[in-house]
Structure 1
Amino acid sequence: MNKYILLLVIILTGIFSSCDYNDRFDGFDELSRPKNVLQENYTFAAEDIATIAKALNANKNAKDSATAKILNADKMFSEAADAKLLMPYLLAARYYSADVKSSVKVTYDFKEGRNKVVTNLSTAPYVVTESDYKLIWGDNFVTAFTPSKSPEKSIPVILTKNVASPKEGMFKNVEYYYSAEEPVTTIVESKIFEEDFDSHPAGSGVLVAIDAWINKDLKGSIGWQNRTYSNNNYAQVSSYNTKAVNDVRLITKVIDLTGMNSPKFTFDIVVGNFTASCLSIEVSDNFDGKESNITAATWKDVTSSFTIPQPASGYTTWASAGTLDLKAYKGKKVYISFKYSGDDTSTPKKTTTYQLDNVRAFDEIMGIDVKNKELQYTAYKYRNAKWQSAADSVVSLQPADYDAMGLKFLTTAQAPNFLPAFLRLKFPFAQEGFTKTVVYKTSATACYADEYIFSKGTWSANTFVLTITDQFLLSNQGWVFDPTLHFLLKKGKEPTDGYMMVVNYVAAHQAIANPALVSSYGDSEFYYGFNANYGNITYRDKDRSIDPAYPASGTIQEKVAFMDQRTIEAMQLILTLKYPDAQPQVNGIDQMAEVTGLIYSNPSSNNSNENWTYTLQCVGNKEWKYIQRVSEYGTIEKAE
């Protein structure tokens, strides 16, 4: 029997060795006997996160442990938890019996992160200052723009002067005043100082701490606090629940009245839970500004010059307390004190709450002013080396919009409740897929931006979560991401840097001999036909005829063939510039690339605008071989 067994083994060995299992799968190391080559489609599931996190933690290093925490927290992939690096852990566990050459297309959610437009707009606004208005108007100026000194013409001048090293595509929110009428000669206010408490930290227990001001309780341990309500900061004091006697002084910085004509002082006030008159306003012209000498100075009580409410219950609303005439102190330097005398130990108690805002001193002089002016917000964009209004693409909420919402500002938590209704009213005829970037103020000193999309009759905030399908391949080194490079020349409505790469290249090369090949705006060129302004590749005869090599008198077929070849050359140029270190293979897999761009007015097509995706292969150092292109309408054209 052993002879027959041995003979059978020899026969079977001969049979199998005669079969050719060495057919090479391009890009992979060769294995002799693939048995389970899969081609799968898989949708990533929530429970798969645990599988990847477990594998990461098993590596027992700080970096992978941190990545596992991020993945568990976000419940999706992101730049910090890259699917290209992490998905192989899942595939190794899920397809453990798969053979080399297997491929799986995985669909998953990716937390893209906010795009550069909304990120750039979510910054502190540029507030136009008195010196800015003076720059526009001259010495006799008003703190507003008018039709003759329009924001569209004036703000670019101001931003050019004040924004250092702006970058192409940068946005700036600008806050300014505008009057529909020109200024007239009248008595105007020349500001000495103004404090609205908005630029300081606020919250329960946070004491007012302003440079050169004094905030001191001479008898107890409380002070004026910098509070906030409805996104508005103010100063507040109360002896309620202190179990103490309080003598709290909030003293302004020195007010220099030298050379003043008719100086004045004013503030806004709210009074709440009135129990007794606890607030007095005092002026001193011999205080030296030192906290230790407060009681040594002479203070004149001027409370009677103001109207301090005494509500029967609850709180009053914000109102001006009136105006103090400081003419008697002309030529002197004075300090003004808000003195709070509270007592939580007495019967009845003296624990009234006082809130102050918009404390200011000013001089009345002859000048020019506008009868009415309104605060406005507008986004500006730095494009083609100059600042331009971005109001056509960015919606900035205006003061009237906040008033309609019953708010002074809008928090990010409130925005999803208010902005959809706002957009419905503003864009009643919005079409499916319509998008708008909306900027709103979250406080006096901060802005935030969101992108909203109109879909199925509803405005919704863009979550910046993308659904992506990526292909992974199994090599003898394990599962690897298909390294094909994907580059869009345009994302949504915004051109990416690919167009300007080509424009700048032509400017530095072909346009040296023929400057007409680059537009006067510097955002388009006519050698390859790339236009960064409109985000397209123009095939128009009048654009391409600037190139002396263009067959202007040729047939349509000859012109299109010429432009097609130039476009292929441009795609190769982009990949060379964008990926200068690309190698022919990554992990044993051929390095491919797909570049998608919009071709405008191709005379051989019925479509005036047509997106084409070009496929190229890296075949050497900065060498890309054209393979094919596919139209968004399904046309496939392979390289000859």
Structure 2
Amino acid sequence: MKKIFAFLFGATLLWSCNPLEDTYKQLDDAQEPYKESIEYTLVDADYATASNAALKDATTKDDSTLAKAIKSNLAFNSRFPGKDYIPAILANNFPALSKGSSAKITYNEFAALPSYFADLSSIYTLTTSDYKKLWGSNTLYVEAFTPTVNVEDSLPVLLDKIFPDDSDGKYRFIAYNYSAEEAYTTGGLLQKVKFDFEEGTAYDPVANAWINKDLIGTKTWDYRSYSGNLYAQMSSYNSGEQNDVWLIRKFDKLDTIANPMLTFKVKVGFYNADCLHILISDDFDGNEANIATATWTDITSSFTLPQEPTSGYGASFEDAGSFDLSSYKGDTIYVAFQYVGNGTDNSATTTYQIDDVTISDDATILNVDETKKLYTVYSKNSNKWKLASDILILSDADYQELGFTNGYIPTTDAQTYLPIYLKVKFPYTLDGEVKNVAFRNDKDDVSSATVLQFNKVNGEWTINDFLDTHSDQFFNDGTKWFFDPTIHLTLGASDYQLLVDWVYNNLDRSYGSSYGNDEFYFGASAYYSNFDLRLSKRTQYNIPGFEGLTEEEQIALTWERLEEGLTILLSEKYPDATSEVAGFPVYYWVYFKTFENDFNNYYYVGIFQKTKDTHPFFERKKDIEDEMVNQGKLTSEDVSWNR
């Protein structure tokens, strides 16, 4: 049968030079049904046509971006796949071809990224509340893991509490503190109530339940911001008046705190006089008109207020000290920050900034002397959180070694440096190995991260851009072209894990290691993305069925079970599979890797079809494999397994 070939030799196909132009013209003129099998590679103009069609189907801004990308990238994507838009291209380019015609179309398409790429685009940093859950106490806790309260045992339990709605397959990139020394008890201040002024807007008067009143002038305490931190500030500088500005906050329910203490932080600028006073009243009624008539106790002497610098501002906020509020337990009190200044001659204009006004409990607390920030990735499998062994995380030492001393690496730089890093770190890995590397990618955004996947090819690590070249079959049923439903599946870690989980749930959990990512009944390994067929593993994990067999019989049994395992794996992955579409059989081409008794990796292909409605639904079709070998689409070595 004649085949029509069209090859892409440049950015644009010059149809005027197409040697088949006259043939198609004759066919069009004849207007007769014409059955043919062709092979064709999409060209720029075809992607442009598909892009325009996808734009008509777009419903969101993101859709439109992806539709336009078909033309600019010369590739389809998961939102607008080639199988949906190539039939229209065929109808336009080959109008004379009719019922029974087939077309093998070569085209580019970006594969859908693994779900964990989105999961690992952000880092979750454990909060104070999380550490309280970790230690099981609101008082006796530290914001860190320790050798006893360790990550391995405690973090999976904590993740269940933090993310109770996460389902299987979810990944979490976690930042946490770790102390190499155990926590110890001391006396200290345990924060109970805190006002940090973060609710305000810079240069507005302080509000939000604060009373803010100048009794003799027109000034107010204002919100100010520096380096992302909001605080309250007051100065009489150039006010042109005398000022008596009160910033007052109500505190009640002190009886719920065993030993209440008042603390705050302060910073001074351009000191020239003592302008700040701290006072307490238990008879003030909250009406600013009655500030002057209420009874106020001056407690300024209990605090240390800086008297420098006389030029510029202090380097940072300092703890001002503490005042014991035990005598006010059971009372409702008001705490006031009174600023008394003189802006008429600028003789008393010291700038005061206050922050973190806090009521704490003077109690026994846990402490650690030093912690360091660490990162880990966990994934949820079989409703349990487990260390994600398929994700490699860059450590502080790795960033340093790569020359990025700030603990992050921009994604564009990572694409250049990480292949070198992997070559040094894993010098003996074989071709076909895959590494997923997760890392911080932004200096200022502590939650920003990314993950890149690298493949070992010809001895070098190359980034996986997930751009695939497909050669798919399309058929014409007399009215339209449609996609050949054959499914090509290269088994990945998540696929092998499906079989691992099935074995754990249906056979015996002891058939796999404690890591939870392998099983040796069929041999599936999600960690290595292969089938481990070594007989030694069958002995190590007491896999039944091998007793009394010769070595040759044992090897044959591993192959029989591998084939059985593939039918189960496909049934787990495609529970809604169908055996045919529009009268055409649906075949599943499965590409997989083995690790055998000679300690070498081998690659095979199996063709399966759904043949029944009871699990497992699939059956290997050796006759179809042989037909594909005869057609040159597979080699005899590809399908030589378990024969």
Q: Tell me which interval the TM-score lies in, with the shorter structure as reference length.
A: 0.5 to 0.7
**Aligned twin of 2:265:** 267
Contact 1:118 1:449 in 2 (8 A): no
**Identity among equivalent pairs (%):** 21
Q: Residues 612 and 263 (structure 1 numbering): CA distance in 2 closer, same or farther, change over 3 Å?
A: same
Q: For 1:88 and 1:485, how far apart are their aligned partners in 2?
A: 18
Q: For 2:336 and 2:395, how far apart are their aligned partners in 1?
A: 37
**Aligned twin of 2:605:** 613
**Aligned twin of 1:135:** 136
* CA deviation map 1:592-639 (0-9, x unaligned): 2122333222x3xx5533343322234565444424499999932269
Q: For 1:238 and 1:336, how far apart are their aligned partners in 2?
A: 17
Contact 1:56 1:65 in 2 (8 A): no
Q: For 2:158 and 2:133, how far apart are their aligned partners in 1?
A: 6
Q: For 1:539 and 1:395, how far apart are their aligned partners in 2?
A: 30
* CA deviation map 1:148-179 (0-9, x unaligned): 44444444454455542554454445555443
Contact 1:38 1:98 in 2 (8 A): no
Q: Residues 351 and 285 (structure 1 numbering): CA distance in 2 closer, same or farther, change over 3 Å?
A: closer
1:481-492 pair list within 5 angstroms: 481-490=483-492
**Aligned twin of 1:635:** 637
Amino acid at match of 1:537: F
Is 1:188 aligned to residue 184 of structure 2? no
Q: For 1:428 and 1:177, how far apart are their aligned partners in 2?
A: 30
Q: For 1:350 and 1:538, how far apart are their aligned partners in 2?
A: 81
1:93-492 pair list within 5 angstroms: 93-95=92-94, 100-109=101-110, 112-113=112-113, 115-116=115-116, 119-120=119-120, 122=122, 124-127=124-127, 129=129, 131-132=132-133, 134-135=135-136, 144-160=144-160, 163-164=163-164, 167-174=167-174, 176-183=176-183, 186-194=186-194, 213-214=209-210, 224-225=222-223, 227=225, 229=227, 232-235=228-231, 254=251, 257-258=254-255, 260-261=258-259, 263-267=261-265, 269=267, 280=276, 282-286=278-282, 295=291, 305-307=303-305, 317-326=315-324, 331=329, 333-337=332-336, 358-365=356-363, 369-370=367-368, 372-381=369-378, 382=380, 386-388=384-386, 393-395=391-393, 415-416=410-411, 429-430=424-425, 435-439=436-440, 447-452=447-452, 466-475=467-476, 476-490=478-492
**Aligned twin of 2:50:** 52
Residue 320 of structure 1, CA deviation: 1.4
- Comparing 573-582 and 614-623, the one that deviates more: 614-623
Give the gaps of 5 or more residues in structure 1.
1-30
**Aligned twin of 1:71:** 67
Amino acid at match of 2:264: T
Q: For 1:255 and 1:173, how far apart are their aligned partners in 2?
A: 40
Amino acid at match of 2:487: L
Amino acid at match of 2:532: T
* CA deviation map 1:512-555 (0-9, x unaligned): xxx86566776544442334455432312244464544475224
Residue 509 of structure 1, CA deviation: 5.0
Residue 321 of structure 1, CA deviation: 4.9
Q: Residues 612 and 287 (structure 1 numbering): CA distance in 2 closer, same or farther, change over 3 Å?
A: farther
Q: For 2:527 and 2:310, how far apart are their aligned partners in 1?
A: 63
Q: For 2:584 and 2:201, how far apart are their aligned partners in 1?
A: 58
Contact 2:54 2:80 in 1 (8 A): no
Amino acid at match of 1:590: P
**Aligned twin of 1:593:** 588
Q: For 1:329 and 1:428, how far apart are their aligned partners in 2?
A: 68
Amino acid at match of 1:284: I
Q: For 1:421 and 1:309, how far apart are their aligned partners in 2?
A: 53
Select which of 530, 533, 549 maps to 1:553: 549
**Aligned twin of 2:20:** none
Q: For 1:503 and 1:390, how far apart are their aligned partners in 2?
A: 15
Residue 266 of structure 1, CA deviation: 2.5
Contact 1:452 1:461 in 2 (8 A): no
Say which SS state the counterpart of residue 189 (structure 1) adopts. strand
Q: For 1:633 and 1:509, how far apart are their aligned partners in 2?
A: 35
Q: For 1:571 and 1:406, how far apart are their aligned partners in 2?
A: 47
Q: Residues 109 and 91 (structure 1 numbering): CA distance in 2 closer, same or farther, change over 3 Å?
A: farther
Contact 2:472 2:484 in 1 (8 A): yes
Q: For 2:421 and 2:250, how far apart are their aligned partners in 1?
A: 45
Residue 105 of structure 1, CA deviation: 0.6
Contact 1:275 1:352 in 2 (8 A): yes
- Comparing 66-75 and 182-191, the one that deviates more: 66-75
Q: Residues 568 and 154 (structure 1 numbering): CA distance in 2 closer, same or farther, change over 3 Å?
A: closer
Select which of 571, 578, 581 maps to 1:576: 571
Q: Residues 155 and 505 (structure 1 numbering): CA distance in 2 closer, same or farther, change over 3 Å?
A: closer
**Aligned twin of 1:21:** none
Say which SS state the counterpart of residue 38 (structure 1) adopts. strand
Amino acid at match of 1:55: A
* CA deviation map 1:368-396 (0-9, x unaligned): 544x1225343252456654556994537
Contact 2:440 2:450 in 1 (8 A): yes
Contact 2:587 2:608 in 1 (8 A): yes
- Comparing 158-167 and 560-569, the one that deviates more: 158-167
Amino acid at match of 1:147: P
Q: Residues 353 and 233 (structure 1 numbering): CA distance in 2 closer, same or farther, change over 3 Å?
A: same
Residue 438 of structure 1, CA deviation: 1.6
Say which SS state the counterpart of residue 589 (structure 2) adopts. strand
Residue 567 of structure 1, CA deviation: 1.8
Q: Residues 146 and 238 (structure 1 numbering): CA distance in 2 closer, same or farther, change over 3 Å?
A: same
Amino acid at match of 1:106: Y
Is 1:34 aligned to residue 35 of structure 2? yes
Contact 2:453 2:464 in 1 (8 A): no
Give the gaps of 5 or more residues in structure 2.
1-31, 428-433
- Comparing 423-432 and 468-477, the one that deviates more: 423-432
Q: For 2:395 and 2:337, how far apart are their aligned partners in 1?
A: 36
**Aligned twin of 1:529:** 523
Residue 437 of structure 1, CA deviation: 0.9
Aligned residues: 573
Contact 2:268 2:350 in 1 (8 A): no
Contact 1:528 1:567 in 2 (8 A): yes
Q: Residues 157 and 561 (structure 1 numbering): CA distance in 2 closer, same or farther, change over 3 Å?
A: closer
Q: For 1:66 and 1:607, how far apart are their aligned partners in 2?
A: 48
Q: Residues 453 and 48 (structure 1 numbering): CA distance in 2 closer, same or farther, change over 3 Å?
A: same
**Aligned twin of 2:4:** none
Q: Residues 97 and 507 (structure 1 numbering): CA distance in 2 closer, same or farther, change over 3 Å?
A: same
Q: Residues 65 and 234 (structure 1 numbering): CA distance in 2 closer, same or farther, change over 3 Å?
A: closer
Residue 450 of structure 1, CA deviation: 0.9
Contact 1:126 1:175 in 2 (8 A): yes
| Aligned residues: CA RMSD | 5.6
Q: For 1:364 and 1:579, how far apart are their aligned partners in 2?
A: 61
Contact 1:279 1:338 in 2 (8 A): no
Residue 447 of structure 1, CA deviation: 2.2
Residue 39 of structure 1, CA deviation: 0.9
